[in-house]
Homo-oligomer: A and B are copies of this chain.
Amino acid sequence: LQVLVVGGGDGGVLREISRHTSVETIDICEIDKMVIDVSKKFFPELSIGFEDSRVHLHVGDAVEFLQRTPAGKYDAIIVDSSDPVGPALELVEKPFFETIARALRPGGVLCNMAESMWLHTHLIEDMISICRETFKGSVHYAWASVPTYPSGVIGFVLCSTEGPGVDFLNPVNPIEEVDGAGNHKRELRFYNSEMHRAAFALPNFLKREVSLLRGATVPFLVRGELM
């Protein structure tokens, strides 16, 4: 598998991707070299992600990098960028998502950070709307508890391009079945298959305020039957 990280200069996302032996190449395109240098100096537990031999660092603008990328090159792209204000604004606009979709193979996936469900419902609505127009596979919203982020959560938009179907809720390789993933460089302290599934459960207010999520449901077992 070929994976691209946009942003992510602290190395944490690299560290997590490198748990997966199925990944052959991890490209990372970070615009600000100082983020990497500071992370290596002060956050060795994150920057350890750069030490994997599969990682190839590209310092530069991801928009330009993606325009030079052959169509269909990547299996997965993870966008771990700044908040969508100022210079990072174009990373939540339609042309950027179109460039991402072009760089993914058919049935390839994007995971993009997508703000707080408590604070940014309009922005989430916009992102999902653009993703639905751009990605012809599935589009989901998920969230996780992060105590240091405003309102204590961070969200993710997960999208797949037209092609083989992607079931985001049920990973092909659950983390517990990936050999050694639980202790690769640093033990998994948060993530497991239960937390993965729970991340897709959405509160009523989010479904109501983000009309595109209105039909979203997680097939939990209720008294032995799917609901």
Contact = CB atoms under 8 A, between A and B. Distances in A.
Contacts of A208: 189
A220 B146 CA distance: 22
A202 B144 CA distance: 12
Interface of A: 116, 118-119, 143, 145-147, 149, 151-153, 170, 174, 187-195, 197-199, 201-205, 208, 217-223, 226-227
A205 B217 contact: no
18 contacts: A118-B147, A146-B152, A147-B153, A149-B152, A152-B152, A174-B222, A189-B205, A191-B203, A191-B204, A192-B203, A194-B202, A194-B218, A195-B201, A195-B202, A197-B198, A197-B218, A197-B220, A219-B221
B227 A221 contact: no
A140 to B, nearest CB: 13
Contact of A197 (B153, B199, B201): B201
Contacts of A143: 145
Contacts of A198: 197-199, 201, 218
B188 A204 contact: yes
User: Counting chain B CB atoms within 10 Å of each CB, which of A146, A170, A203, A205 scores highest?
Assistant: A203
B152 A223 contact: no
Contact of A145 (B152, B191, B219): B152
A173 B158 CA distance: 32
Contacts of A119: 147
A189 to B, nearest CB: 4
A114 to B, nearest CB: 15
A151 B151 CA distance: 8
A195 B197 CA distance: 11
User: Counting chain B CB atoms within 10 Å of each CB, which of A149, A192, A220 scores highest?
Assistant: A220
Contacts of A190: 203-205
A227 B203 CA distance: 25
B192 A204 contact: yes
A160 to B, nearest CB: 17
User: Counting chain B CB atoms within 10 Å of each CB, which of A191, A205, A221 scores highest?
Assistant: A221
Nearest to A117: B145
